[in-house]
Amino acid sequence: MSDQERRKEYRLVQEDLSDQEIIRLEKWKKLQEKGLEVFPHRAEITHAVHEVISEYSFLSKEELEEKNISVRVPGRIISVRKMGRATFFHIANFRDKIQVYLREDVVGKENYELFDLLDIGDIVQVSGKLFRTRTGELTILAESYVFLAKSFHPLPEKWHGLQDVELRYRKRYLDLIMNPVSGETFRLRSQMVAKIRRFFDERGFIEVETPMMQVIPGGALARPFKTFHNALGIDLYLRIAPELYLKRLVVGGMEKVYEINRNFRNEGVDSQHNPEFTMLEFYQAYIDYHQLMELTEELFLYLARELHGKDEIPYGEHTISFRRPWKRIKFMEAIREMSGLAPSRFEDQKSLIDFAATLTPEKRPLSYGKALDIIFDKLVKEKIVQPTFIINPPKEISPLAKSDREVPSEAARFELIIAGMELANAFSELTDPFEQRKRFEEQAAMRQTGDEESHLVDLDYVEALEYGLPPTGGEGIGIDRLAMIFSNQKSIREVILFPLLKPR
């Protein structure tokens, strides 16, 4: 058969086949001709790779010989060292690997030669006895092996792994096969989420799921994605936050409630933002935002200890300490102390607003509160490294929060900043239905002036408040960013398995 005929016959997705791919397809055909099942249905295994390691890696060479342990382990071939009539190779799964020793005098000439039809990347099951090599590595002395799956494409280079960032995101499976650090990051994320659930479950919270598709997207200041329901003939929005639904549940008597789920915001993509991201929101009746700060400190310290066994963790150039108590500083003081602006700049509100306007391309007139928010974001946030609660921001940028009891222009709210990123946002929830309605109407007025991120009026939610929302503290924590902190990653795309990319 000519190369061209082969290329036509083998219908791989990728149309131009390399020599290496044709060779792999030919080898696979030969396996077929030998009567081997080329797409087997199941494998009878005794251990996964990591189970062999966790159960037996502490046994010495002598102990292994004495115990004579047989295992049947599946894995992907990731490296091969052939020396005539003996071959060493490693099989791997996720982030664990184990060596296999294949000898012609053990498996027989025919089975040994069959190995020539296998390639790096193929998945096999190896049966044999555990032993230690001269250099002490735990190894399976193969007595037999079974073909489980063919890899028709060559894997990336063994030493450097897969470096191309775009390919790592588009073909995450290759990243996971080749780069152990990546597997470790996602394992840590999974454990982190499990620990968060345990933390809240142990404190009597119940986990719920609320609508992702909403008629009025609320609970945050952001632009939504729009979609359409055919049968009902209505516009729907992917949620920007679960907040208003969770508070309806507190009205209904769920006094401690949380949700871990996706939010969608129709905004830019960068190292700290993905259009869909995972958010933890929790609400506890009868507590205020000061008690939420205590709870937040507890949660983060618990996670640091459970995931890393210590109170301080490295993040880039820094060491972040979760030791309590964390710094608390008023929003306005943070701006005065850290923005680098001269004290005289704060004497005149109008000139401050004009200055803030120079920091943003926004053409609309800014309110005083919005101007302060911009100055905080641009000049202050990035300077904060250690966990810091920024408390009492302006009320007008906090339409769902109670006012501070002493300074009514301030909100009973905090934002948690770590490593220059906003990790959490929390407040004493506004429970007064009349005030809530007024705030919504003010937001609606802002929308009239062109602010697309202002909150929409949600009278159904106001009606829920009219039935009585107890005093409640509520908080949202960005799970992706939290995973960044705990896995020491600088880009949100490193902690999201399939970040949004333009289609190829």
Partner RNA sequence: GGCCCGUUAGCUCAAUAGGUAGAGCAGCGGACUCUUAAUCCGCGGGUUGAAGGUUCGAGUCCUUCACGGGUCACCA
Window 380 to 439, contacts with RNA (CB under 7 A): 421-422, 425
Residue with Cβ nearer RNA (23 or 206):
23
Asked if residue 338 binds RNA (CB under 7 A), the reply is no
289, 393 contact by CB (below 8 A): no
Strand 276-285: give its sheet, edge to edge. 206-207, 256-264, 276-285, 472-478, 421-428, 413-418, 388-391, 327-330
Q: Is 257 exposed, middle or buried (0-12, 13-18, 19+ CB in 10 A)?
A: buried
Q: Among the residues of 43-156, which ranges form H helices?
A: 49-56, 61-67, 104-107, 109-114
Name which position in 2, 68, 135, 448 contacts RNA (CB under 7 A).
135
Of 453-482, which residues contact RNA (CB under 7 A)?
453, 478, 480-481
Asked if residue 502 binds RNA (CB under 7 A), the reply is yes
Asked if residue 88 binds RNA (CB under 7 A), the reply is yes
Residue with Cβ nearer RNA (9 or 157):
157
69, 92 contact by CB (below 8 A): no
SS3 track for 347-374: CCHHHHHHHHHCCCCCCCCCCHHHHHHH
Min dist CB 170 to RNA, Å, is: 8
Which region, judged by CB under 7 A, interacts with RNA, from 99-107, 181-189, 228-236, 458-466?
A: 99-107
Q: What share of the chain is helix, strand, coil (3-state, %, to 5)?
A: 40, 25, 35
Min dist CB 223 to RNA, Å, is: 7
Name which position in 63, 270, 312, 463 contacts RNA (CB under 7 A).
270
Name which position in 72, 76, 248, 265 contacts RNA (CB under 7 A).
265
Residue showing tokens 């306007």 = 357
Min dist CB 232 to RNA, Å, is: 28
232 contacts: CB under 8 Å, gap ≥ 6: none
Which region, judged by CB under 7 A, interacts with RNA, from 98-106, 224-232, 383-391, 436-444?
A: 98-106
Residue with Cβ nearer RNA (77 or 251):
77
90 contacts: CB under 8 Å, gap ≥ 6: 77, 78, 79, 97, 98, 99, 100
Cα dihedral 428, 434, 435, 437 sign? positive
Of 152-171, which residues contact RNA (CB under 7 A)?
153-167, 169
Residue 37: alpha-carbon gap to chain centroid: 38
Name which position in 5, 44, 105, 406 contacts RNA (CB under 7 A).
105
Min dist CB 172 to RNA, Å, is: 13
Which region, judged by CB under 7 A, interacts with RNA, from 39-47, 228-236, 281-289, 358-366?
A: 358-366
Which region, judged by CB under 7 A, interacts with RNA, from 95-103, 201-209, 299-307, 310-318?
A: 95-103
Question: If binding means CB under 7 A, how many residues of this protein chain bind RNA?
Answer: 81
Min dist CB 434 to RNA, Å, is: 25
Distance between CA atoms of residues 410 and 404, nearest Å? 5
Asked if residue 343 binds RNA (CB under 7 A), the reply is no
Of 206-225, which residues contact RNA (CB under 7 A)?
220-222
Min dist CB 428 to RNA, Å, is: 18
For 371, what's the count of Cα atoms within 13 Å in the CB-facing half-sphere?
Answer: 19
